[in-house]
Amino acid sequence: MAQALHIGMVAPPWYDIPPRTYGGIEAVTAALVGGLRARGHRVTVIGAGRGVDLRTYDEPPSARIGEPFPEVVHAAEAARLLRGLDVDIVHDHSLAGPLTAAGRLVPTVVTCHNDVSGELGDYYRSLGEDVSLVAISSAQRARAPDLNWVGRVHNAVDAAAWPFREHKDDWVLWLGRLSPDKGAHLAIEAARAAGRRLKLVGRRTEQVERAYFRERVEPLLGPDVEYLGEADGALKSELFSRARCLVLPLLWDEPFGMVMIEAMACGTPVVALRRGAVPEIVVDGVTGYVCDTPAELPAAIEAVSALDPHAVRARVERHFDVPVMVGEYERIYQAVAAAPPARPRRPLPLGR
C-alpha cells in the first residue's frame, strides 16, 4: 500500500457529484473519489450541490453553464476553502481553478478534460510548471506535446454498475450533448440508410445546442427516429444495455468520450468515426467499428451483429474500470508530491 495522502479534489461547479443526468467530468470525479477512499486516502471534495464535502454553491448553477462568473466565483471560493485544509496535493478538474495554483504551497494536478490545441492549450502553457497536467488520452496529449504533462490516465466507469445484456434489440442509439460537433444528424442519416430505428438522447441547454437541434436535428425526426430528451442514470443504463450499438459520428477530435465506455460496459458495441480518442477506446472489429467516412457507418451498423458482447465488456473491465484509473492517478500523486518543485513554492503576496 502506497503512502496515504490527503487530496483536495476540486470539481467543476456545474453539476452534483455524481451528476443526476448529464455530467461526464462529475461522474469521473465521483468514481475517482470513491476509489481513492477505498484505497485508504483521505479526499476532501470541493464543488457545488450534492455529494461534496465543502460547497462553493448550495445548488449547482447548471442553467448558467458557459457563463464566466460561476466558474470564477467557484475558483475563488475553492481557493479560500483549500487554504483552511492541510492537504498533500490538490487535484483540480475545473477550468478557472488552476489559476490559483501558484498561490499555494502544495502541488496541483490538473486533469485536462477538453481540447488543448487552441486557447485552452495557451492557458495551460501560461501556467507553466505551477500545474502538473494529466491527459485523458494519448490523442489529446499529442495535440499539445509541449505542455507540462506528467501522465495520461483514461477516464473510467464502474463496470460492475452497468447492466450487461447479451441479446440486443434492433434499434441503434445516439446519446450525448446536442452539439453540432457530436454529429447527431449523421447518426440519423446512417441509421436510416441501414434501415434501423434510432433513439436519440441528448442535452440541449446551451443556445448553440438548441439552435443545432432546431435547425439540423428536428427536421430529420420521424417514425424511425425518436427523441427522448435528456436521460437520467436509470434510463441511460436501460438504453445502453438494450441498443444494437451506439453510433458516434464525431466531427471533432474529442479527447475521450465517456458514452463509448458506458455503452461497452453493457456489452454494446460502438460505431464511430476515426476522430480524437476513438481508436484508443474502440478496438475495430472487436468492440465496434472505427469508420473513416460517414458513408461507412450504415454497413458498420449492420456488421455489429457479428461481435461478441462479452468481448466488448471485457475491454472495459481490463482498461477502463475504476480500479485501473485510481491506480494510475495514485502513482501520479505520489510522484508529483515527492518531486522537488521547479522553483520554491510560496504563497503569493496578496497585500500588506
What value does the mean pLDDT of the chain take? 94
What are the tens digits of pLDDT across the range 272-328?
999 999 999 999 999 999 999 999 999 999 999 999 999 999 999 999 999 999 999
pLDDT in the model for residue 162 = 97
DSSP result, 87-119: -SEEEE-SSSGGGGGGGSSS-EEEEE-S--SSH
The pLDDT value recorded for residue 344 is: 57
Cβ-based burial of 169 (10 A; exposed 0-12, middle 13-18, buried ≥19): middle
Instruction: For residue 243, give the C-alpha cell.
Output: 441498443
Question: CA 210 to CA 134: how far, in whole Å?
Answer: 32
**pLDDT tens digit sequence for 143-196:** 999 999 999 999 999 999 999 999 999 999 999 999 999 999 999 999 999 999
Percent of residues, the chain, with pLDDT higher than 70: 96
Quote the pLDDT of residue 352.
Answer: 36
3-state helix, strand, coil in the chain (%, to 5): 45, 20, 40
20: confidence class by pLDDT, cuts 50, 70, 90: confident
pTM exceeding 0.75: yes
Round to the nearest angstrom and report the end-to-end CA distance of the chain: 45
For the segment 335-347, the average pLDDT, to the nearest whole number, is 73
The domains found in the chain, sorted by start residue, are: 6-156+321-338 (3.40.50.2000), 159-317 (3.40.50.2000)
Q: What is the pLDDT of residues 216-263, one digit of tens each?
A: 999 999 999 999 999 888 999 999 999 999 999 999 999 999 999 999
Per-residue pLDDT at 342? 60
pLDDT of 105 reads 93
Helix (H) or strand (E) holding 176: strand 172-177
Q: What is the pLDDT of residue 159?
A: 96
**How far apart, in whole angstroms, are the C-alpha atoms of residue 174 and residue 156?**
20
- Model confidence at 113, in pLDDT bands (50, 70, 90)? very high
As a whole number, mean pLDDT of residues 67-94 equals 96
Residue 343 has pLDDT above 90, yes or no: no
Question: What's the pLDDT score for residue 299?
Answer: 98
